[in-house]
Every structure is written in structure tokens, then in C-alpha cells.
Amino acid sequence: MEKIFKRKLYDRLLKWKNERQGRTAILVEGARRVGKSTLVEEFAKNEYESFILVDFNQAPKYIKDLFDDTTSLNNIFMRLQQHYQVTLEPRKSLIVFDEVQKCPQARQAIKYLVKDGRYDYIETGSLISIKKNTQDITIPSEEERVTMYPLDYEEFRWVLGDNISLKIIKQLFESRTPLDVSHRKAMNDFRLYMLVGGMPQAINTYLETNNLSLVDQTKREIIRLYLDDFQKIDSTGKIERLFLNIPAQLSRNISRYQPYSVVGDQSESKMVEMLQALSESKTTLFCHNCTDPNVGMSLTKDLNRYKIFLADTGLFVTLCFWDKDYTENVIYDKLLGDKLDANLGYIYENVVAQMLATTGNRLFYYTFQKDEKHNYEIDFLLSRGNKLCPIEVKSSGYKTHKSLDAFCEKFSSRVGERYLIYTKDFVKNGETTCLPAYMTMFL
């Protein structure tokens, strides 16, 4: 039986319920199998006297057809209560539209349901904004949207019964103090998270079996589910190929994802549509190059230069070896034993991207010329106040950071804190703060 995991998004839903008092609906979007339905159902059970969960993956046609005509809301409510055998109480009950992308008319009806004011409404969905799910409806302005990510590292530690270590690590981060003898264990714990990842099914498999081979099988099942979804959107298989090629593109150490090398010549509009579907699936994270690094990085975002990461590093590790059986995957032993090959360092880039995105950061990077054949590259740029925080990621303990130094010299007036994220303990190296990877979440 799948366990119910404590999620931070629960508190966000509670804030919405208490502050909005039914004046808006809230849409929880995220990748498939990320735990949206489980979270919302648990919230409904705990916070309301009664609730109806309409799962549009399974709802009969006549339930879906109810939302074609919103002139009689009383009829909709009567039919829902009759079908689900639940009594709704005004201002004490919740209606959940689960996988609402399967019934766009229900999403459009939110405008009138919210205006009616009798009940609260939560929607969940994946692939929520792709063209086929929105082209014939008006998106309701009464809808708040939040993204649910895989379990972050702190949530993962909670699952393992550890409610203390991240609090202590945060205190040490804030006081700029190394962990010393505790660092090795902290990195071992973090590497386990990188391998298992934050998908609830994969974590459940780990808890039940303590077997990384079986965890890998579970992750493969999730990836196959994503590939099936991509096939439904694009029967040519091009979106699927773009997804499968993410590790290979990162491993080539090139300054951007090169989609045409993966799917061949395409019209610009078709390529934009495919990449948008990949982004809207919430299975990936796009990190855009900014042409003029400043605090308003969105203003100089280059739409044609980007890197793509996976939203879950556990899935990323499995995708790196997609064409091999688990028994051939030495990466689990190597990563756990801190013997990762240098050319697999992009796994650390992926987990840093994931941790930054999960804490609400948009992802940007920057490249500039070193000489005729080489470029400097800043892996990630954060905006903090009126200053930039450049980040360089290393998969080893080396404290060299030539790109970081060159960037800070070039844009000295714009730079605040500068960070090297690596595998060793906290240390201050001149003006550069060297952080162990598990502290990324506190930036």
C-alpha cells in the first residue's frame, strides 16, 4: 500500500483555503505520478466535512457532459451528489476535479462554480496547458495555479524518519560553518536521494525493499508512462526523442540543447510546439541563456539557447542508462561510493537545477568567450535583491572556479554572493563560498 508522505504544498493549500474562502479555485499541476491526487485527497479528508473527487480519467461520459451546460448549477450539484453518494454542505465541502485536462469544459466551468460560492474547488492536472487541452475553452481568471514537484530533499529525509538533520544543516549554512566530521554522512545521505529521487512510487519501492535494482525498475515504469504520454501528443515520436536525448546533450558539454540534431529539420512553429509540450509536461526543467546578466534576467532570455534537465534527478539517473539493464548500471555503486566519473558530473548539475527550481527560482545560465575556441560558462544565475549570484557546479571536490572568477571580474558591479557547489564541506575560498551540494536548497 502506498504511504502518504508529508508534503510542503499541503501548507500552501491550507493557506489558500483559509485566506480565499472560496473566492478562487486552485489548480495543482505537475508531472504524472508526482503525488498530486494523493496530496489533494488527503487534504480533502482532513480539512472538509465532506468532499467529492471527480476523477476524469474514470468518470462516465454523463458526468463529463454535465459541464457542457452551466446554466443550472443545482442540476450539476444534484447529479454529482447522487453519483458519488456524498452530501455536500455549503462552505464546508470541497469538489476536486482530478486530471482536469481530460475534461476541459469542467475547467472552464470553474468561473461559474466559484461565483456561485457554495463549495471550494481544487483541480489537479498534468499537460494542463498544451494546445489540445486549452484550444476550445476560456481559462478561468478565478483559478490560482501552483506546481507540485517531486519530493525535495527535506521531504525525502522526513520520509526516512529524519526531521532534524536539515534543520541543523540550515543553521550551519546561515552561520557559515562547516559540518566537519558529519559532512561525509551528509553527502552519503544526499547521494541516496540523487539515486532514488523524489517520485513517491520510487521512494515507496525503496522503503519496502531497500533494493536499488527494484527502485530502478519502478523509475523505468514511470519513464515509460511519460513516453506513452508523449506518443499521444505526437505520434511521430519526436517529443519522445527530445526527452530521451536530454542526458546525451548534457554529457556533450555543449552550451545548449541542440534539438535539430535530435529530430532533424522542422518548421520553427512545429519545434516551438514540441518544446512547449515537453516543458508543459512538467517532467523537465528548461534553463535559458540570458544575453545580458542582470537582475531582470527574463528581459534578456534567449529563447533559442537553453539546456534541459529532468525535474527528478532519480529519473535522470535511470534515463542516463536507458538502453541498458540495471545489472550493467555501475552508476549506483559509483555514486553511492563517491567514485563518480568526471564525465558524469552533469548528474550534479541536474540535482542543483532541480533544487533551485523547487524553491521557486527560474533557471538561467550565461556563457561568454574565453578565447577563439573556448567559452566560460556560469551554470546558474540567481537574482537576489539588486545583485546577481553566479553558481558553478562541480561533481568533485576541486575548488578551482575559473569561469566564476572571470564572470565576477567582468561583471564586478553586479555580483553579490558567488557560489561553487561541489561535494566537499563548506569553506570560504577568497570571495567564493564553496557549498556542499545538499546546501543548495538554502540559496
Phi, psi of 69 (to 5 degrees): -130, 110
> Pairing relation of β-strands 427-429 and 432-436?
antiparallel
Is 4 a member of any domain? Answer: no
> Which grid cell is 328?
550493467
Q: Is the pLDDT of residue 391 over 60?
A: yes
Q: How far is CA 186 from CA 57, 178, 343, in A?
A: 41, 11, 23
Mean pLDDT within 307-333: 86
**Contact criterion met (CB below 8 Å) for 198 and 206:** no
Note the pLDDT of residue 3.
78
> Which grid cell is 3?
504511504
**Domain CATH number, residue 92:** 3.40.50
CB under 8 Å to 273, separation ≥6 — which residues? 131
Q: Is the pLDDT of residue 253 over 80?
A: no
**Contact criterion met (CB below 8 Å) for 158 and 6:** yes
Q: Rounded to an integer, what distance in angstroms lies between the CA atom of residue 366 and that of residue 378?
A: 5
Report the number of distinct structural domains present in the chain.
2
Residues 170 and 298 in one domain: yes
Amino acid letter for position 262: V
Q: Is the pLDDT of residue 272 over 90?
A: yes
pLDDT bin (cut points 50, 70, 90) of residue 137 is confident
Cα end-to-end distance, the chain, whole Å: 36
Note the pLDDT of residue 138.
86
**Computed over its alpha carbons, how large is the radius of gyration of the chain?**
23
> Which grid cell is 66?
454535465
Residues 252 and 349 in one domain: yes
Q: Rounded to an integer, what distance in angstroms lies between the CA atom of residue 44 and that of residue 388?
A: 41
* The overall pTM is greater than 0.75: yes
Note the pLDDT of residue 345.
79
Residues 251 and 133 in one domain: no
Is 3 a member of any domain? Answer: no
Residues 417 and 380 in one domain: yes
Q: Which residues sit opposite 144 in a β-bridge? A: 26
Q: Is the pLDDT of residue 342 over 60?
A: no
Count how many residues are written for the chain: 443
Q: Is the pLDDT of residue 268 over 60?
A: yes
Is 226 a member of any domain? Answer: yes
Residues 216 and 86 in one domain: no
Owning domain of residue 90: 9-147
**Domain edge (last residue) among 96, 115, 147:** 147
Mean pLDDT within 6-34: 97
**Domain edge (last residue) among 127, 147, 167:** 147
Note the pLDDT of residue 328.
64
Q: How far is CA 382 from CA 250, 353, 369, 424, 437, in A?
A: 21, 11, 21, 22, 16
pLDDT single digits (tens) 175-208:
999 999 999 999 999 999 999 999 999 999 999 9
Q: Is the pLDDT of residue 1 over 90?
A: no
Q: Which of 35-49, 126-140, 144-158 has the lowest mean pLDDT?
A: 126-140
**Domain edge (last residue) among 95, 125, 147:** 147
Q: Is the pLDDT of residue 122 over 80?
A: yes
